[in-house]
Amino acid sequence: MVSNAPVAGLGPDVSSERKKDKGPDDIEPAPPIYSPDGEMKDGSEEINYHTLTWWQAGVVMIAETVSLGILSLPAVVANLGLAPGIVVMVFMGVLSTYSGLVMGEFRKKYPWVESFGDAGEVMGRSIGMGKLFQEVFGWAQVIFQVFVMGSHLLTWTICLNTLTDSAACTIVWGVVGLGVFWVLNTPRTLRAAGYYSFASFASIFTAVMITMVDVGIEKPIGTTSIEVARTIGFSSAFLSVTNIAVAFSGHSCFFSVMSELKQPNDWPKALMLLQVCDTVLYIIVSVVVYIHVGPNVPSPALSAAASPILRKVIWGIALPTIVLAGVIFAHVAAKYIFVRVFAGTKHVAKRTAVGRIGWLGITATIWIIAWIIAQSIPVFSNLLGLVCALFASWFSYGIPGSLWLWMHYGEWFTTPTRTLKFALNALLVLVGLLLCALGLWCSGEAIAHDGGTEPWSCKSNAAP
């Protein structure tokens, strides 16, 4: 039975005492039971959930965002052409930055919000549907993160097959990864992630830099002719757009990261650190790799290196980010489930045997589900496209736009600035809707017609 009592400021109060039909300015906060410095009112020890400085939060988000997305972008540019690829990346980067600022504005107004489920509950409460909105938004966030975890497990198997020359069945490598990811998810806060995220970012940065240097020297695959723009089918083009959207889709973790900041007002600095780093890195890597490799650049792009030995070195260096970024997504998903299950009990805020067993059970369960997804959709770009269409379209674009429209309902056109923001947020909702509807169609068509890799197969999925 899931309880909805407020605990440690973790999640909103959805008790029966709430009044229905309240407007955005009338929403009352859930009274915090625990103070943010980790001291319970009775003087006993509490788990401190507020440990991140702004730069640590930025690095955590960089490690979580600049991981799998960057690996698909050179192939995206090769598919769309140089100019459209760059334009779409800049456009999606600007939109995702603005939507992150909107989320920060929303949480500043409702500081007890720690997930999209909480945000949905706040909006839904104004029409008497808070409980329903919380369930829909919250569990959709969890499902999205589990799908992303699946993509990390899929990349893990590609990496291990590359490093070992496919010495074992791909399913076996998936099971090994399942154990590794689960063990690293035993901590219950992001404090450790704030430090090992440095290793994660350093690994993916070093791996792509080596890849760029190698392809610049060797020009390894196919022709090096480039096209400023290409004429391709709609499905293929839009699937590439969804892959770009996934590269900027860290938003499902944003509320959770905000909730663990020491100073909540530092959110814009953390966000800008993330967005400047990822946008610049995405453009440089995708353009350089495409120019030197040509239209046959593989996805993931780390397999573009010419020498088999160097390819192994690059994948080995990238291994930490494949693992650690997946662990961050799993932490956020597990934390939401854990708080929902144990809300109203001491197990959320205190270190208890029941709490430890519950956390380990939840993390194990979601990693098993992620492993099933990875085995069922074994094509990297197709899985990313499906993830974007189903979830990233809403969490990164549609829902943040809806949050602003809800917060400022009745005041959309009161000033020129407010009118401009209305247009921007309406655009966010429209982009989310298009990415979802058209992305589902395109990714479904790609999965149905892709016969290159079989699901639940021992065959190697490493790039030839």
Residue 36 has what pLDDT? 37
Three-state DSSP at 52 gives: strand
Mean pLDDT estimate for the chain: 82
Q: What digits encode the pLDDT tens for the residues 74-132?
A: 888 988 988 999 999 999 999 999 999 999 999 999 998 988 989 999 999 888 888 89
Cross-strand bridge partners of residue 39: 45
As a whole number of angstroms, the distance between CA 333 and CA 367 comes to 10
Residue 441 belongs to a domain? yes
Residue 160 lies in a domain: yes
**Continuous H helices in 126-260:** 130-164, 170-184, 191-218, 234-247, 254-259
Q: Is the pLDDT of residue 11 over 80?
A: no
What's the CATH number where 146 sits? 1.20.1740.10
Q: Is the pLDDT of residue 164 over 60?
A: yes
The whole-angstrom distance between residue 216's C-alpha and the CA centroid of its chain comes to: 30
Pick the closest to residue 78 from 363, 297, 249 (CA basis). Answer: 297
Burial of 420 (0-12, 13-18, 19+ CB in 10 A): exposed
Is 278 a member of any domain? yes
- Mapped onto helix, strand or coil, the DSSP state of residue 201 is helix
Measuring CA to CA, how many Å separate 236 from each of 56, 78, 137, 188, 305?
37, 12, 30, 41, 25
C-alpha pair distances (Å), 319 with each of 96, 311, 409: 27, 12, 46
CA-based torsion, 402, 406, 407, 408: positive or negative: positive
Which of 134-148, 182-196, 214-228, 412-426 has the lowest average pLDDT? Answer: 214-228
Is residue 144 situated within a structural domain?
A: yes
Digit-coded pLDDT (tens) for 43-69: 445 666 677 889 988 988 887 788 767
CA-to-CA distance for 30 and 7, rounded, in angstroms? 9
Query: For the chain, how many structural domains are there in total?
Result: 1
Cis peptide before 298 (omega within 30 of 0): no
Asked whether residue 297 carries a pLDDT value surpassing 80, the answer given is yes
Which pLDDT score is estimated for 451? 58
Burial of 242 (0-12, 13-18, 19+ CB in 10 A): buried
Residue that the structure tokens 């999965």 belong to: 447
Q: Is residue 81 part of a domain?
A: yes
Q: Which domain holds residue 328?
A: 46-449
